[in-house]
Every structure is written in structure tokens, then in C-alpha cells.
Amino acid sequence: MSITIKTPEEQQKMREAGQAAAEVLLMIAPHVKAGVSTDEINRLCHEFIVAQGDIPAPLNYGGAPGRMPFPKSICTSVNHVVCHGIPGPKVLKKGDVINIDVTVIRDGFHGDTSQMFYVGEPSILARRLTETTHEAMIEGINRVAPGVRLGDIGHAIQQYIEQRGFSVVREYCGHGIGRVFHEDPQVLHYGRPGTGIELQEGMTFTIEPMVNAGRADIKLLPDAWTVVTKDHSLSAQWEHTILVTPTGHEVLTLRNGAL
């Protein structure tokens, strides 16, 4: 597959899909509290998405020989879960941190975004990891412009995280996005400056660093979806969908104008 350049009309559809995804996170925020199950969070998001006339992209996505398709409409990744947590009977308790990852399809185009939530008061470590991961994503986003290379972005993210004593997950990355959920290019959250493809106006892709408090190593659970830290340390992630503009970038998944 090759990288698709979006026309102005397609860029407008990506803007609308991005906002549709962001609105799901705004809707769910007040419901993320102790005593609520991840299934209930999934149910509320699913109902909201379909009521808007949109499609939850994760539902039935990514089946393969030996792997069931993803069975729910969002991903809920709690504490040491790195990504792709499957909503279920697990009930949130005070001190948990959770990433909720929403991807919707509106009028044929995908918007993909995720955010961390605190359940009650987080530990000092959980807050520092969550904030550092958000800042690292912004470091990457801020570099996006025509002519910049993907390695410049990955390097900026990696450096920011490692300077603060945390580690970048290698096995999962950001991705091109459009009519297709995961398209080229792969957007690594680590790398060397001056390497990788050059960004061009009209590209759309996600930046979604996964950061572990301990070692970078991960393990896939037997459900073939849930990714956890091998050392059971905490993990955090944030994600936005970005458009490359003539002068820099536009974040398509802002929530009320904020990152």
C-alpha cells in the first residue's frame, strides 16, 4: 500500500470524522469514575456513535487466522494495559488510570483519538507518566510540517520520554488514516533525525505514543488483543489524528479546541 494524499474535499471529511471521534471522548468523560465497568463505558460510546449516524471502527475489526475480530466498539486500557484492552466486566476503582481509544467512521472517513483518564486521585507516578506521555505527543505534533521527516518526529518523542526515565513501546505505532483505518505510513514513536519519509501537504496520520513507567517490553494476552507491559509497570497513551497543511499541521481531533 502507498501513502494517500487527501484532496481539500477529503480533508474536510477527515476534519468531520476527527470531530466526531473527539465528541465521543467529551461525552464519556463524566462517566469515567469508580464503580463503572469498562463494558458500560463501551455501551455508552457505542450508543452515542451510532446515534450520530457513525460507525465504531474497532467493532469486528482485524480478524485473522487465529485471532477473533475485535469484539467491542472502543478500546479500554487500564493501568498496565498498554493498548487494545477489550471492554468487559472489569469495574474501575479509585487510583486506576485508563486510556479510552475511539475510532469512528463518518461518511467513509476515519477519525482516531485517545486520551487518559484518572479514576479518583492518581498516584504521583501515574500522574507523571500520563502528563509526560501527553507532552511527548505534543512534542511530536509540533514538528509536523511539509518537508519534515518521520524520523525527526519519532526522535523528538523518544528523546522527551527517555530523558524523563520512561520507555517507548516499539511494537505499535501511529499510522496513516483516511478511508482505511490503518494505512501507510507507519509513524514510529522513536527514530533518528533525518530518516524516514518526508511529509507532504495533504497527508493524514496519527501520533499515539505508548509509554511505560518501567521497561519497554510488552506481552500479548491469550485473547490475542490485549497488550500489557511485561514487567506489569504502568503504561499511558494519548492519540490525535493530524493533517499536514502548507505551513505546518492541523490537529483534526481537538476536544473543544484543546489537545
- Residue 10 in the binding site for ligand MF3 (CB under 6 A): no
- Residue 112 in the binding site for Co ion (CB under 5 A): yes
Q: What is the SS3 assignment for 93? A: coil
Residue 241's binding partner, choosing from Co ion, ligand MF3, none, with beta-carbon cut-off 5 to 8 A by kind? Answer: none
- Indicate the residue among 10 and 239 with the shorter CB distance to ligand MF3: 239
> Which range, of 4-12, 58-66, 149-157, 162-170, touches ligand MF3 by CB under 6 A?
58-66
Least distance between ligand MF3 and beta carbon 8 (Å): 25
Segment holding 211, helix H or strand E: strand 210-212
- Indicate the residue among 52 and 246 with the shorter CB distance to ligand MF3: 52
Listed as own residue / partner, the contacts of 25-34 with beta carbons closer than 8 Å and 24 or more positions apart are 25/100, 25/102, 25/113, 25/114, 25/115, 25/255, 26/255, 26/256, 28/100, 29/117, 32/92, 32/98, 32/100, 32/117, 32/119, 33/92, 33/119, 33/120, 34/92, 34/93, 34/94, 34/96, 34/119, 34/120
The helix-helix angle for 38-51 and 8-28 (nearest 10°) equals 140
- Residue 183 in the binding site for ligand MF3 (CB under 6 A): no
Give, as ranges, the residues between 108 and 127 that touch ligand MF3 (CB under 6 A).
Answer: 112
- Residue 101 in the binding site for Co ion (CB under 5 A): yes
What distances in angstroms separate CA 80 from CA 124, 195, 210, one per listed residue?
A: 16, 32, 11
* Residue 136-175 contact track with ligand MF3, rule CB under 6 A, x = bound: ----------------------------------------
**Angstrom distance (rounded) from CA 171 to CA 195:** 19
> Which range, of 6-14, 30-38, 55-63, 151-159, touches ligand MF3 by CB under 6 A?
55-63
Least distance between ligand MF3 and beta carbon 247 (Å): 26
Residues binding ligand MF3 (CB under 6 A): 58, 61-62, 70, 75, 84, 101, 103, 112, 206, 208, 225, 239
